[in-house]
Amino acid sequence: MQAKIMLLPASSKGKTLCSYAEELFLEISASFGHSLNTVREKIGEDSVRLFDVPLTQETANACKSCHAVFLADQDCEGSRALWQTVGIPLRVRSFMIPPSLSNGPVHARKMYLCQPTALDQDTLFPAVRQAMQLAAQLEIPFCHVAPTGNSRFQWDAQIKESIKKYPALSYTALSAPEAVRRIIEAPYNVGVMMCAPYAGSILETAAMSLFPYPGIQFDFSLQDTFGIYAPRLSCDINGMPEPFGTAYAVAKMLHTSLHMSREAACLEAAIENVLVSGWRTPGMPCPGEAADGNHIIQLICEQLAVAGEFLAKH
């Protein structure tokens, strides 16, 4: 397969994350016989320095011409503008604990916080459908926190209309305090939680306090063509960006936007093998062999090479 992937580093640390992703794309291309080519544009502080705006229309157009975007700093002004400008209705943050770091069942290690990129009808309708579809596909509960003000009526109407398509879906309406309480009391049973953009920071803060590996979290879209994938920009105790969120974001990109399910499964298995072998970045709150991000990515690439060789023989 041939694909063009946009890399958008919004800071110096974002450039490190893009380098991690680039290494993974090169290894996937070599190990599985693909051609995953990357290009880079300016966003955030680099774009402000050159063009006085955090996101130019030229950069947004260049992103649309690619199969997917790897956004290496999801919280800058330019990245927030990008989600809206390219027409993606829903932004999903994955909170997870990998199997190697958890003793519970698979469904008990994940929570998804979904936020529409705008509250107008054209954005809200597909956003609600996508969030419910995610919950239905994973067979996990769906809950939502309606916005206040003029958007409330339209939000409730879209929820009631969309839920008709998923009659078996467990569905709950919550107030913001109830949502925070549910996250704190039973984070592994939340499933998919949808909220307005401005409520996301409050709920995200509650979730982050309960999922102890911020370097593994990432944002993604649910488009089956063009999509955005953004690892959370967190650093280890030495100030170096964490590599695991990048690897998981790339795996999600392979599966959702590039339709490379086999390669995505191999990458997720490679990440898990590295964790099971005891490798950790400095400061991860669990015992293991400490290594910097570059070494972790190299270990994952070695696992991918072995998987590619095995599949080629069989």
Summarize pLDDT for 235-253 with one digit per residue, the tens: 777 778 899 999 999 999 9
* Distance of alpha carbon 63 from alpha carbon 244, whole angstroms: 24
pLDDT of residue 150: 84
pLDDT of residue 108: 46
Query: How many Å is the Cα radius of gyration of the chain?
Result: 19
* Residue 106, H or E segment: none
At residue 266 the predicted structure's pLDDT band, cuts being 50, 70 and 90, is: very high
Helix axes 261-276, 244-256, angle to 10 degrees: 160
Cβ contact 232:245 at 8 Å = yes
Q: Nearest CA to 232 among 73, 113, 78?
A: 73
Percentage of residues in the chain having pLDDT higher than 90: 65
End-to-end C-alpha distance for the chain, whole angstroms? 19
In this prediction, residues 274-285 reach a mean pLDDT of: 87
Q: Which residue has the higher pLDDT, 100 or 155?
A: 155
> Which residues lie closer than 8 Å to 188 by C-beta, 6 or more apart?
104, 107, 108, 109, 111
Neighbours of 52 (CB within 10 A): 8
* Distance of alpha carbon 299 from alpha carbon 306, whole angstroms: 11
pLDDT of residue 104: 59
Which 8-state DSSP code applies to residue 283? T
pLDDT of residue 74: 64
pLDDT of residue 97: 86
CA 82 → CA 59, 219, 230, distances in Å? 9, 13, 12
pLDDT of residue 170: 86
227 Ramachandran zone, left/alpha/beta (phi>0; psi -120 to 50): beta
Tokens of 120: 């107008």
185-205 in b/e burial notation, b at 16+ Cβ within 10 A? eebbebbbbbbbbebbebbbe
pLDDT digit string (tens) for 88-114? 999 999 998 888 887 655 544 789 999
* Distance of alpha carbon 40 from alpha carbon 5, whole angstroms: 9
* Residues forming a β-bridge with 111: 95
Least confident among 60-69, 129-138, 167-176, 210-219 = 210-219
Least confident among 47-51, 104-108, 162-166, 195-199 = 104-108
Assign 23 to helix, strand or coil: helix
Assign 172 to helix, strand or coil: strand
* Distance of alpha carbon 56 from alpha carbon 78, whole angstroms: 9
In this prediction, residues 15-29 reach a mean pLDDT of: 96
- Asked if pLDDT for residue 196 goes beyond 50, the answer is yes
pLDDT of residue 105: 54
pLDDT of residue 205: 87
Tokens of 210: 């309960």
Tell me the one-letter amino acid at 299: L
Tokens of 232: 């959370």
CA 75 → CA 35, 43, 63, 83, distances in Å? 30, 12, 18, 11
- Asked if pLDDT for residue 294 goes beyond 90, the answer is yes
Spell out the domains of the chain, with CATH numbers in brackets: 1-89+224-314 (3.40.718.10), 99-212 (3.40.50)
In this prediction, residues 160-188 reach a mean pLDDT of: 91
In this prediction, residues 118-126 reach a mean pLDDT of: 91
Q: Which residue has the higher pLDDT, 237 or 207?
A: 207
* Distance of alpha carbon 9 from alpha carbon 6, whole angstroms: 10
Which 8-state DSSP code applies to residue 188? G
- 3-state helix, strand, coil split of the chain in percent (to 5) is 50, 20, 30
